[in-house]
Amino acid sequence: MVLTLAAIAARLHLRSGGLVGVVAALALAFQVGNAGAEGPQIANFTLPNGLEVVVIPDHRTPVVTHMIWYKVGSADETPGKSGLAHFLEHLMFKGTAKNPAGRFSQALATIGGQENAFTTADYTAYFQRIAKEYLPLVMEFEADRMTGLVLTDENVLPERDVVLEEFNMRVANSPDARIGEQVAAALYLNHPYGRPVIGWHQEIEKLNREDALAFYHRFYTPNNAVVVIAGDVTGDEVKALTEKTYGKVARVAEVAARVRPQEPIPVAVRQLTMADSRVAQPSLQRSYLVPSANTAKPGESEALEILAQVLGAGETSRLYRALVVEQRIATGAGGWYQGTALDETRFGVFASPLPGVTFATIETAIDGVIAEVAEHGVTAAEIERAKTRLIADAVYAEDNQATMARWYGAGLTSGGSVEQITTWPARVRAVTPQAVQSAARTWLDKRRSVTGYLVKELPANQEKRS
Amino acid sequence: MVLTLAAIAARLHLRSGGLVGVVAALALAFQVGNAGAEGPQIANFTLPNGLEVVVIPDHRTPVVTHMIWYKVGSADETPGKSGLAHFLEHLMFKGTAKNPAGRFSQALATIGGQENAFTTADYTAYFQRIAKEYLPLVMEFEADRMTGLVLTDENVLPERDVVLEEFNMRVANSPDARIGEQVAAALYLNHPYGRPVIGWHQEIEKLNREDALAFYHRFYTPNNAVVVIAGDVTGDEVKALTEKTYGKVARVAEVAARVRPQEPIPVAVRQLTMADSRVAQPSLQRSYLVPSANTAKPGESEALEILAQVLGAGETSRLYRALVVEQRIATGAGGWYQGTALDETRFGVFASPLPGVTFATIETAIDGVIAEVAEHGVTAAEIERAKTRLIADAVYAEDNQATMARWYGAGLTSGGSVEQITTWPARVRAVTPQAVQSAARTWLDKRRSVTGYLVKELPANQEKRS
């Protein structure tokens, strides 16, 4: 059981950790063996209306994490309506005929529950953490709003202002977010992953009730959702509960296969420079177009996970050691891999130069580190350390229950299966040094990349005009 | 009459001339005055089924150019089905129940006619040039294939191979075309103008009969087309003829407004480098996102036309003089503006460095030329020369009839009206030096641009790996 938990948290760390560092607990010597096969007794079934349910028993405390995941994200939006998936996530709190706006959240507050929601390119999810006796209540509420949402101009238009304000806070006023948006847009020439999850401002501004309802009726249906319950419950209990609640929700739509426009083979080395007077420290980030767990050949995504650890995770990583410790040219450096994605995904490296150090110097150093791995591979010790860390991290994760639920939810709405998720630790353990070297050689090809430079002012030869 | 003709050809030159130079006939002193109001007696009417007709009488020879323009191009395709507009253009030659494949072309050959077809981001057009007595025959054929196309797997799939072969010849084997494709894809972050007209290879490969027919039934309907006839005919003659032929074609679809996803405000200076071993001479091209005739404020597009002439048209242009003649750092240099477009369009500059000259040197020179115009404007003499040229070019254009028909067709399928087209010369004449300077200052902002470098080999710091 521990192993699976560990792998889940490790995976999750990569996902949510994004550009920042790594949890400290590394050195733990961990018995890996075959224990993975003895992971939690996960129940997985599908109701007649098409709703998939995953139950991850965890009896340590009488608490339950309840999540519902819809297989729809910003990459499923109609072009020109960017931000709609995220906007609908906000609108899902506007109430139904049976439960007017506020009642669900108030009920949660009364019982001491927590709730949240999030949207990515591939999925939209809603979750609650509650004492176990309230699980039926929460399921009733979620089942009700799966198809019963009531939207009016009076509740839609003010929420659009809320989202626009969120855009201002999270994107417009954040140079880091803006350059991330620009790098993604430059990396994806054809695939909708190039579109920001929150949307383009001029398109968010025009979203309306009709757009939201059309999107809702197209994607919010039991046959396009996965309920994940982690906590002090059994599969049988949950089965009975879901049948009584979600089981009564009729399908409202047949959902088409999620076939998005794919990327052409990348051929151009791309760079972009963005200036913002609020930038205190210049930084560089590079994204490479690489396979995801869902598009990779067997073993390839796992090798990229290890490669990201060796190159970029924490202060023992090659990038950190070379740029920060040895060459003393950067204040920080690292790398990451976003494995969980339905379509071709990103492998990133990043660094912040010390004052007076040019981007050219930083890039030469980064390129040297990558070339070294591509040409000579990594050591067995580095790989072991990476594997141990990927597995060990989770043991110390603070919130395993939510972490596990998130991992299953994200995996199942990004092309994966329960079986693929539970066998992931074994597949990570099987990664060879050759596979890691091959991943670096094949995928960290600069023609597959966009490098973004974030600066306070454009250099003289890139001034505003001319 | 001459004025309108001239403006048409000048406009067309910008469109089809693309990156190359300008027709020589410049110095001609031309009487401009108000003669524009006395242009050809253009007839413009719409049949009850919604088909718009434009007639441009030209009685010099008993020849007629017949064109049909559909308001559909690659920017109207469904994402993931790129290349469909162009593929359908090919398939339009596959025959109908009434006129099996080959009969139309054979009839044209028999009467000594010429035919061709072309697809852009905004329109698809078919044209024939014939002796005037065959105009009814050609109209019968075109009216028949407007809604009568018969497609089978047997005639669709081999044609897809033809298109893929065209892709290989025109794109895959042409470094110039490939870098042009990459620059467009990098410039447009959201708008479908970033998609190549011929399509992405992996998507062309999957186009099929069902895709083509769905697209055909959606867009090929009289209410989505414009017939343009230039030549030895009168408006009344053509009216009677179109009523007898095209008038019988029933509408098959209502066509939605052409609302494409628009660009966010550009914020990042972008660059890309593409290497191809077949590159004999390195070159640089930069595209700026700028307003088109259809999106610009009054006078702005006309000012951009003049700016493109002053900066980049021919050997007297500022770019050519600075880079080729004075600084002797380039073998060629110039600029262009694609004014005719439904949505935000491109202004381009380009240069080819002499051996041993770096791109940095070339860009410093280009930037200097643009900064000079933005800061100090252009001279009255330059503006006069540009206006004279825009107007005079056409007088010497070899094929005015087709040129005029193309100008009206392109304008009317890119958001323009007959009135806008006929008044264009007067609006160009009205451009002030201030407007040209303002256009340079406002729109030639590097943050609105992508610069593409085409080289034989990637420089050492941009090698394939690392």
Enumerate the residues of chain A whose CB falls inside 8 A of the CB of residue B349. Answer: none
Residue B18 has pLDDT above 50, yes or no: no
pLDDT of residue A360: 96
B421 or B459, which is more confident: B421
Helix (H) or strand (E) segment spanning residue B128: strand B124-131
Q: What is the mean pLDDT of chain A?
A: 89
Contact B79, A189 (CB under 8 A): no
With bands split at pLDDT 50, 70 and 90, how would you rate the model's confidence at B241?
Answer: very high
Of A268, A441, A464, the CB nearest to B274: A268
Please compute the mean of the pLDDT values over residues B342-371 and round it to a whole number.
97
Poorest-confidence range of A309-323, B34-48, B90-104? B34-48
pLDDT for the residue B460? 65
Name the band, by pLDDT with cuts 50, 70 and 90, for residue A393.
low
Is residue A38's pLDDT more than 90?
no
At B404, is the pLDDT very low, low, confident or very high (cuts 50, 70, 90)? confident
Strand A52-57 and strand A43-46: the pairing is antiparallel
Enter the pTM of the model.
Answer: 0.88
Count of alpha carbons within 13 angstroms of residue B129, beta-carbon side = 13
pLDDT, residue A390, reads 87
Q: What percent of chain B has pLDDT over 70?
A: 88
Provide, rounded to the nearest whole percent, the portion of chain A with pLDDT above 70: 88
Mean per-residue pLDDT over chain B, rounded: 89
Question: What percentage of chain A has pLDDT greater than the value 90?
Answer: 83
Q: pLDDT category, B115, cuts 50, 70, 90?
A: very high
With 90 as the cut, is the pLDDT of residue B5 above it?
A: no
Subunit contact B195:A190, Cβ cutoff 8 A: yes
CA nearest neighbour of B69 among B148, B142, B10, B160: B142
Over 80: is that where the pLDDT of A349 sits?
Answer: yes
In this predicted model, which residue has the larger pLDDT, A377 or A36? A377
Whole-angstrom Cα distance, residue B29 to residue B440? Answer: 27
pLDDT at A247 over 90: yes
Lowest-pLDDT range of A39-48, A104-113, B201-210: A39-48
The pLDDT assigned to A29 comes to: 26
pLDDT of residue A399: 57
pLDDT tens digits for range A276-302: 999 999 999 999 999 999 999 999 999
Question: Is the pLDDT assigned to residue A377 strictly greater than 60?
Answer: yes
**Which pLDDT score, from 0 to 100, does residue B39 have?**
60
Measured between beta carbons, the chain A residues lying within 8 angstroms of B190 are 79, 82, 185, 195, 200
What is the tens place of the pLDDT at every residue in B129-149?
Answer: 999 999 999 999 999 999 999
pLDDT surpasses 70 at A94:
yes
What is the identity of the amino acid at B73? G
Q: What's the rounded Cα separation, in Å, for the pair A365 and B442?
A: 38
CB proximity list for A165: less than 8 A, separation 6 or greater: none
Average pLDDT over residues A71-92: 98
**Interchain contact, B200 vs A179, CB within 8 Å:** no
- Look up residue A103 and give its amino acid: R
**Confidence class of residue A461 from pLDDT cuts 50, 70 and 90?**
low
pLDDT in tens, B158-183: 999 999 999 999 999 999 999 999 99
**Is B367 within 8 Å of A466 when comparing Cβ atoms?**
yes
Kindly tell me if the per-residue pLDDT of B37 is higher than 60. Answer: no
What pLDDT is attached to residue B401?
Answer: 85
Label each residue of chain A as H, E or C.
CHHHHHHHHHHHHHHHHCCCCCCCCCCCCCCCCCHHHHCCCCEEEECCCCCEEEEEECCCCCEEEEEEEECCCHHHCCCCCCCHHHHHHHHCCCEECCCECCHHHHHHHHCCCEEEEEECCCCEEEEEEEEHHHHHHHHHHHHHHHHCECCCHHHHHHHHHHHHHHHHHHHHCCHHHHHHHHHHHHHCCCCHHHCCCCCCHHHHCCCCHHHHHHHHHHHCCHHHEEEEEEECCCHHHHHHHHHHCHHHCCCCCCCCCCCCCCCCCCCCEEEEEEECCCCCCCEEEEEEEECCCCCCCCCHHHHHHHHHHHHHCCCCCHHHHHHHHHCCCEEEEEEEECCCCCCCEEEEEEEEECCCCCHHHHHHHHHHHHHHHHHHCCCHHHHHHHHHHHHHHHHHCCCHHHHHHHHHHHHHCCCCCHHHHHCHHHHHHCCCHHHHHHHHHHHCEHHHEEEEEEECCCCHHHCCEC
pLDDT tens digits for range B297-324 = 999 999 999 999 999 999 999 999 999 9
Q: Are strands A52-57 and A225-231 parallel, antiparallel or unpaired?
A: parallel
What pLDDT score does B462 carry? 55
Residue of A79, A178, A462 with shortest CB distance to B446? A462
The predicted pLDDT at position B262 comes to: 97
The token duo for A72 is 């729809």
Query: pLDDT category, B403, cuts 50, 70, 90?
Result: confident
Quick: pLDDT tens for A322-338: 999 999 999 999 999 99
Residue B152, min C-alpha distance to chain A (Å): 25
Mean pLDDT confidence for B281-302: 97
Mean pLDDT of A3-23: 31
How far apart are the C-alpha atoms of A53 and A244, rounded to whole Å?
13
**Cβ contact B374–A446 (<8 Å):** no
**Best B171, B188, B195, B269 residue to mutate vs chain A (most A CBs within 10 Å):** B269
* B366 contacts on A by Cβ (under 8 Å): 466
Mean pLDDT, range A33-48, rounded to an integer:
70
A252-275 average pLDDT score: 96
Catalytic residue among A52, A77, A89, A302: A89
Cross-chain residue pair A370–B466, CB shorter than 8 Å: yes
The nearest alpha carbon in chain A to B259 belongs to A80
- The mean per-residue pLDDT over the stretch A392-407 comes to 70
Mean pLDDT of A148-163: 97
Mean pLDDT over residues B227-243, rounded?
97
**Is A375 annotated as catalytic?**
no
Min Cα separation B108/chain A (Å) = 39
Q: What is the pLDDT of residue B390?
A: 87
pLDDT of residue B442: 97
**pLDDT value for A18:** 29
Residues of A (295-354) whose Cβ lies below 8 Å from B: none
B420 and A CB contact within 8 Å = no
The answer to whether the CB atoms of B190 and A192 lie below 8 A apart is no
Which residue among B80, B268, B363 places its CB closest to the CB of A461? B363
